[in-house]
Amino acid sequence: MEEFTQILLLFISTVLINNFILVRFLGICPFLGVSKQVETAFSMGLATTFVMTLTAAATWLINTFILEAFNLPFLQYVSFIIVIASLVQFVEMFIKKTSPVLYKALGIFLPLITTNCAIMGLALLIPLNGYSFIASVVFGFGAGVGFTLAIVLMAGLREKLEFGDVPEVLKGVPVTLIIAGIMAMAFMGFSGLISM
Amino acid sequence: MSLDFKQVVSDFKNGLWAENPIIRLVIGMCPTLAVTNTTENGLAMGLATSFVLIMSEIVISLIKKLIPANVRIPSYILIIATFVTFVDYFLKAFFPGIAASLSIFIPLIVVNCLILGRQEAFASKHSTPRAIADGIGMGIGFTWVLVLLGAIREFFGMGSIFGFTLLGDWYRPMVIMVLPAGAFITLGILVGVMNYISREGK
């Protein structure tokens, strides 16, 4: 029971308190790039969550049973990036074969996930925090949910902003960044939610 | 091979302003926002990224004909990851303080879209001298924005620059500036100001 509570708290804190985008600054590129429409933002969030959960499991196994077992920490970056790239490739092929509809919806976003620093950041944070296998997978899933939450919220705001009267020089990226700043302030409100 | 000197100079200047990676191309945003809470961190990150960028542009422009088109992206990433590992171990050995405060953002240079983007857009298509000029220009362009952003945030957030206190005890630091929210807002305003300046210049 104790362990279960711990896992639940880890999930909540990953989603809200240490949100990957708004607090850790990981995955800013897709956050700015694919947050124009709620629908595409949601698809992107879904694909990222999927890859993140798998990455968390795969890199934990590789780090524990290969890199640490054979004392090869200097290969960490190279091996993680290869794992992520092949995982994304694999997920792409798998989805293409099993669900063409989903493949079409995610299509162009899937290959982009490889260079999403949220995924690589996740892989690097797991050994740094010393999570167990279960905790790693929950951490990966929570990170994905937090990512989806932030990107969908931003897309909703930007859809409304289309009708707003934004000064010419602030249109596009600048105003998006300022909104993200205000969202980050709002998320700071969660910081006292749980103490870990 | 004749080398057009003017072309090299213009490749170099390109990254400083006209195609500045952060202000104009809006790539490489994660480290830009995450590590600019102090001027020193911004400078260190800028230099580390520039080193990886220049070295991988050299290597890739030299071997571009040997890399099959189908596997070019994984090959680029592997070359980049090698240089990043090098920088990471160098910083850990000689500047442990900086390495600790930049933490995972040093390894994350591997997936910085600025670096991969320049290999794909420039180094894989041009000669080595031009690739070096592009790497140096882009590197300086990236570094000066990081240093400026770090300076603004450190000045308002802690009343100091490069760790030297500039404002006296009377100044009450705006803590928000060194927190994530301040990073987004400062960069948003900075990009807006840059847009304004480049529009006035036309």
The C-alpha angle B113, B119, B122, rounded to 5 degrees, equals 120
* Residue among A29, A84, A18 at smallest CA distance from A57: A84
Give the phi and the psi of residue B28 in degrees, each rounded to 5.
70, 40
Confidence of residue A195 (pLDDT cuts 50, 70, 90): low
CA distance B33 to B181: 10
Residue-wise pLDDT tens digits, B51-99:
999 999 999 999 989 998 888 888 898 899 999 999 999 999 999 999 9
State yes or no: pLDDT of A180 exceeds 90.
Answer: yes
Q: How far is B81 from chain A (nearest CA, A)?
A: 6
Interface probe, candidates B24, B25, B30, chain A, greatest A C-beta count within 10 A:
B30
Residue-wise pLDDT tens digits, A77-126:
889 988 888 888 888 888 888 888 878 766 667 777 877 889 999 999 99
pLDDT at position B139 is: 95
Q: Is B45 helix (H, G, I), strand (E, B) or coil?
A: helix
Instruction: Say if CB B121 and CB B55 are below 8 A apart.
Output: no
Is B30–A29 a contact, with Cβ atoms under 8 angstroms apart? yes
* Spans of all domains in chain A: 29-156
A25 φ/ψ sector (left φ>0, alpha ψ -120 to 50, else beta): left
B187 near A CB under 8 A: yes
Closest chain A residue to B190 measured between Cα atoms? A174
> Among the residues of chain B, which ranges form H helices?
5-16, 29-34, 39-63, 72-94, 96-102, 113-118, 128-158, 180-200
CA distance A86 to B73: 12
The C-alpha angle B63, B69, B70, rounded to 5 degrees, equals 130
Residues 6+ apart with CB under 8 A from B123: B56, B57, B60, B61, B64, B131, B134, B135
Q: How many CB atoms lie within 10 A of CB B100?
A: 10
Confidence of residue A4 (pLDDT cuts 50, 70, 90): confident
* Spans of all domains in chain B: 7-200
pLDDT at position B81 is: 92
Give the phi and the psi of residue B165 in degrees, each rounded to 5.
-70, 125
Say how many CB pairs under 8 Å bridge A and B.
114
Global ipTM: 0.86
Average the pLDDT over A19-23 and give the result. 90
Is B179–A184 a contact, with Cβ atoms under 8 angstroms apart? yes
Question: Tokens representing B140?
Answer: 């300086």
Amino acid at A35: S
Residue-wise pLDDT tens digits, A25-82:
898 888 888 888 888 888 888 888 989 999 999 999 999 999 988 988 888 888 998 8
B175 near A CB under 8 A: no
Question: Tokens representing B165?
Answer: 């206190």
Instruction: Say if CB B142 and CB B46 are below 8 A apart.
Output: yes
Q: Which residues of B touch A26 (CB under 8 A)?
A: 30, 34, 108
Q: Which residues of B touch A117 (CB under 8 A)?
A: 30, 108, 111-112
How far, rounded to the nearest angstrom, does the alpha carbon of residue A74 sit from its chain's CA centroid? 25
State yes or no: pLDDT of A20 exceeds 70.
Answer: yes
Give 10-residue mean pLDDT values along chain B (202 residues): 78 87 81 88 94 95 89 87 93 93 89 87 90 94 94 90 81 85 92 87 66
